[in-house]
Amino acid sequence: MQKLLIFILFISGMYANSTSTTHFQYESQSNGSGTLNLNLGELEFDSHDDYKKLNIEHTGQILEVGMPDLPTFSTLYMVNRNVQYDVQYEIVDSYFIENINLLPYIEDEEKKQIYKKNRLNEISYSQISSYPENHLNVSEPHTMRDIDIISVEFIPFTYYTAEKKLEVYNNVNISITPLSESTISETIKYSRPFVKMYEGLVSNFTRTEDMEFQQPAILVIGGGNSLTNNNIEDLLEWRHKRGYVYILLQHHKQEQVQIQ
């Protein structure tokens, strides 16, 4: 349940800001494979007393208390739920930033990040030699209305605590390869409003000319005789002529009417 809630929040955050996927460039490969390229470009840092924090728009955070505060890069990727995938990454180009004291992530009682110097100075990275341990995180498949998707998260940095040295993976390729072919053939009918959202959020989603769409529908809820009101009936008839089906819901009894 907790994982599902986190995933829903992740989707909501990305929907609120559809530019999240612009960090990744998608390239289709053979046999249903694809590559996500992440190219960081020039980096900017914020200063908090003696500490530095990476400042990159449209990224997440690891949110591990007491550990270096590093950004995460995430996108959604459309998959076939009946197929297993192999996800690997390749570092194309990297470099080091020397003598940098990375800001540790600290929370207050309300789970909000704080930057108080006395609290920051209490943190020691002596228990680790490098961070993070894992750079690539891939979720289980989830259904997003019409399609199945996975979340791909990458952390293109390694911080070496003793040396105070940050390795930057400036250019990374993430390959996503199906390990089998789907034995189930199905035709997807898409929701038009969701297709617009997919185009902004799902890296490998592309609208095609032969795409089939669902017939739009309206849910009408009313009490008493409101659903038989002449104005409501005229409205529903007008919507029907424009290609809609409608569902009538009265009190606690649901009656579905679909006009072909």
Mean of the per-residue pLDDT values of the chain: 83
Categorize the per-residue pLDDT at 252 as very low, low, confident or very high, splitting at 50, 70 and 90. Answer: low
Check whether residue 167 and residue 82 sit in a common domain. Answer: yes
- The verdict on residue 152 lying in a domain is yes
Asked if residue 102 belongs to a domain, the reply is yes
Q: Does 151 share its domain with 252?
A: no
* pLDDT value at residue 66: 92
Query: Which residues make beta-bridge pairs with 224?
Result: none
Whether residue 183 sits in one domain with residue 224: no
Q: Are residues 223 and 182 in the same domain?
A: no
Q: Is residue 35 part of a domain?
A: yes
For residues 163 and 231, membership in a common domain is answered with: no
Is residue 195 pLDDT above 80, yes or no?
Answer: yes
More confident residue, 68 or 208: 68
Residues 36 and 77 in one domain: yes
In this structure, the answer to whether residues 104 and 171 fall within a common structural domain is yes
CB 168, CB 93: distance < 8 Å: no
Lowest mean pLDDT among 72-86, 177-191, 192-206: 177-191
Q: Is the pLDDT of residue 168 over 60?
A: yes
153 in Cβ contact with 60 (< 8 Å):
yes
Task: Say if 192 falls within a structural domain.
Answer: no
* Residue-range definition of the domain harbouring residue 134: 2-187
CB 251 within 8 A of CB 223: yes
pLDDT reported for residue 31: 80
Mean pLDDT confidence for 102-110: 92
Please indicate, yes or no, whether residues 44 and 162 belong to a single structural domain of this protein.
Answer: yes
Domain identity same for 102 and 177: yes
Q: How many domains does the chain have?
A: 2
At residue 256, the pLDDT reads: 52
**Is 94 domain-assigned?**
yes
User: Mean pLDDT throughout 113-130?
Assistant: 87
CB atoms within 10 A of CB 12: 9
Task: Tell me the CB-side half-sphere exposure of residue 258, using CA atoms within 13 A.
Answer: 5
Q: Is residue 230 part of a domain?
A: yes
Q: Is-contact 208 199, C-beta < 8 A?
A: no
The pLDDT of residue 238: 75
Q: Per the structure block, which two tokens stand in for 116? A: 């108080």
Please indicate whether residue 20 or residue 250 has the higher confidence score (pLDDT): 250
Q: Of the ranges 49-53, 109-113, 114-118, 205-209, which one carries the lowest mean pLDDT score?
A: 205-209
Of 46-50, 51-55, 123-127, 137-141, the least confident: 123-127
CATH number at residue 42: 2.60.40.3800
Same domain, 76 and 10: yes
Q: Which pLDDT score, from 0 to 100, does residue 22 have?
A: 67
**In this prediction, what percent of the chain has a pLDDT beyond 90?**
49
Angstrom distances, CA of residue 42 to CA of 48, 92, 134, 136, 171: 20, 16, 23, 22, 12
Name 221's Cβ contacts closer than 8 Å, sequence gap at least 6: 249, 250
Report the C-alpha gap between 151 and 75 in whole angstroms.
Answer: 6
55 and 148 fall within a common domain: yes
Taking residues 169-177, report their average pLDDT. 97
Residue 125 and residue 44 in one domain: yes
Give the pLDDT score at 47. 94
Average pLDDT over residues 109-124: 86
Buried b (16+ CB within 10 A) or exposed e, 91-120: eeeeeebeeebbbbbbeeeeeeeeeeeeeb
What CA–CA distance (Å, rounded) separates 194 from 197? 5
